[in-house]
């Protein structure tokens, strides 16, 4: 797979079809497959790919608007591209999509932190992640460390591509059992968990910055008039930040999981975004990023939209 990716990237750059290739390279941290922008044929040799590549690369597209770009894209990356097109942020013609059927990505930060020892080497073999530390070899199940969105992903295959690397995979699917489990908890318990999660937030905004949909030049959280979120670390402000962010994501979030996976404090965020995604799908038959021609969820309505909650 990596060989094929490099081959394609090299050709694109050599023929001048694109200026840059957005891909991944091996990082310096254990379990890190980090974003990498290849600009030259020599740099193509650094491109790699693995389930540790957590960052949704669509996040970088708007900043390369003046270039012709090739991008490695999984299902959720293509969905993000669709949303960006539908919101007028990028143009499809300028983007060359190297499609990657996806087996899911791993919660790399959480896994790395759970090991608690120096990690020397990592490999994936027969559905297991094999982690060699200074003292032992640990094996964990691939499926156990999957990003929750990937675990139930309906669209692992790129929705469109200019070239596909590898064979299409079968979607795991499975809906939103995580959201349903949360709903079953009683009200106070739900609040307790929500509050505990949000309280961990240090307002570094890595979640926002890594999200392909958060391209706003002026984010509401930075607004001083009105002050949707006040400065400081009062729980209500941390909660407001995340609640409103999730509202901004309604019908836009493509459930890639990047926000949660990159959070340095391990704040759980997907139980919120996935809840909204579930509602939209169940109650409005709306799934984000499937069609670049479709207006955003909040930019349209149906006469028979749910209204029984209104007196």
Partner 1 sequence: MADYEPKILTILCNWCSYAGADLAGTSRIQYPSNIRVVRVPCSGRVNPQFIVKALRDGVDAVWISGCHPGDCHYITGNYFARRRFYVLKDLLEYVGLEKGRIHFSWVSASEGKRFADIATLVTEEVKKLGPRKKFVKRR
Partner 2 sequence: MKRVPLSELERIYEALKSYGSVWVRKKNAYETAETPEELLSTVSKVKKPAKFIFLPEEEPLLAFVQDGKNVTFQEVIREAKGVIFGIPPCEAKAISLLDLNFLQGEGEDIYYKKRRENVLLFGLACLAPDSRCFCTTFGYGPFTESFTDIFGVVVDDVLLFEGITEKGKDLVKNLDVEDAKGEELKKLEAMKKEITERVKKLDIQGIQEKLARMMDSEIWDKISSSCLGCGACTYYCPTCYCFDIQDVERPNWGYRLRTWDSCMFTLYTLEGSGHNPRPELKYRWRNRLMHKFNYYPVLYQEFGCVGCGRCIEVCPVNIDIREILMEVKNEPIRA
For residue 148, the partner it binds in ligand SF4, partner 1, partner 2, none, with Cβ less than 5 to 8 A by kind, is: none
Half-sphere exposure of 63 (CA within 13 A, CB side): 15
Q: Is the dihedral of CA 22, 97, 271, 295 positive or negative?
A: positive
- Is residue 260 exposed (0-12), middle (13-18) or buried (19+ Cβ within 10 Å)? buried
CB of 46 to ligand SF4, least distance (A): 18
Is 33 a binding residue for ligand SF4 by CB under 6 A? The answer is no
Query: What CA–CA distance (Å, rounded) separates 284 from 270?
Result: 20
Burial class (CB in 10 A: 0-12, 13-18, 19+), 164: middle
Please give the helix or strand (H or E) that residue 48 lies within, else none. strand 47-48
Placement of tokens 């919101």 in the chain: 87
3-class secondary-structure state, position 85:
helix
* Residue with smaller CB distance to ligand SF4, 107 or 208: 208
Interface contacts to partner 1, rule CB under 8 A = 182-183, 187-195, 220, 226-228, 230, 234, 236-237, 239-240, 243-244, 246-247, 250, 272, 275-276, 279-280, 283-284, 297-298, 301-303, 305-307, 309-311
Which residue's CB is nearer to ligand SF4, number 130 or number 199?
199
Judged by CB under 6 A, the stretch of 90-98, 167-175, 188-196, 204-212 that binds ligand SF4 is 204-212
- Could you say which of ligand SF4, partner 2, partner 1, none residue 60 binds, taking C-beta under 5 to 8 angstroms by partner kind? partner 2
Query: Rule CB under 6 A: is residue 275 a binding residue for ligand SF4?
Result: no
297 binds, among partner 1, partner 2, ligand SF4, none (CB under 5 to 8 A by kind): partner 1
User: With CB under 6 A as the contact rule, which of the stretches 8-16, 64-72, 174-182, 212-220 interacts with ligand SF4?
Assistant: 212-220
Instruction: Of 182, 188, 160, 156, give the one whose Cα is nearest residue 254.
Output: 156
- Residue 263 sits in the site that holds ligand SF4 (CB under 6 A): yes
End-to-end CA distance of the chain: 57
What is the contact surface with partner 2 in residues (CB under 8 A)?
27-30, 32, 34-37, 55, 59-60, 118, 202-206, 208-210, 217, 222, 224, 227, 230-233, 262, 264
DSSP secondary structure letter of residue 297? G
């Amino acid at each position: 797979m990596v060989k094929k990716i490099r081959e394609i990237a090299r050709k694109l750059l050599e023929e001048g079809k694109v200026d840059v290739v957005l891909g991944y390279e091996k990082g310096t941290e254990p379990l890190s497959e980090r974003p990498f922008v290849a600009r030259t044929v020599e740099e193509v040799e650094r491109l790699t790919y693995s389930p540790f590549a957590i960052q949704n690369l669509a996040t970088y597209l708007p900043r390369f608007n003046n270039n012709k770009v090739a991008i490695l894209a999984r299902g959720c990356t293509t969905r993000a591209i669709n949303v960006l097109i539908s919101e007028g942020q990028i143009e499809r013609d300028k983007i060359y999509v190297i499609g990657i059927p996806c087996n899911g990505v791993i919660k790399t930060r959480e896994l790395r932190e759970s090991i608690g020892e120096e990690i020397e080497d990592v490999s994936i073999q027969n559905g297991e992640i094999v982690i060699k530390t200074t003292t032992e070899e640990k094996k964990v199940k691939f499926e156990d460390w999957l990003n929750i969105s990937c675990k139930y992903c309906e669209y692992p295959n790129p929705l469109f591509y200019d070239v596909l690397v590898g064979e299409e995979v079968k979607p795991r699917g499975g809906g939103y059992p995580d959201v349903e489990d949360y709903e079953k908890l009683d009200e106070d318990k739900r609040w307790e968990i929500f509050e505990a999660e949000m309280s961990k937030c240090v307002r570094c905004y890595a979640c926002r910055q890594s999200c392909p949909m958060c391209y706003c030049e002026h984010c509401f959280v930075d607004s001083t008039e009105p002050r949707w979120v006040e400065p400081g670390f009062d729980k209500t402000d941390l909660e407001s930040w995340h609640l409103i962010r999730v509202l901004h994501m309604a019908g836009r979030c493509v459930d890639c999981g990047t926000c949660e996976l990159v959070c340095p404090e391990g704040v759980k965020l997907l139980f919120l975004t996935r809840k909204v995604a579930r509602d939209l799908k169940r109650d409005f038959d709306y799934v984000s990023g499937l069609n670049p021609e479709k207006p955003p969820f909040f930019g349209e309505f149906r006469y028979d939209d749910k209204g029984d909650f209104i007196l």
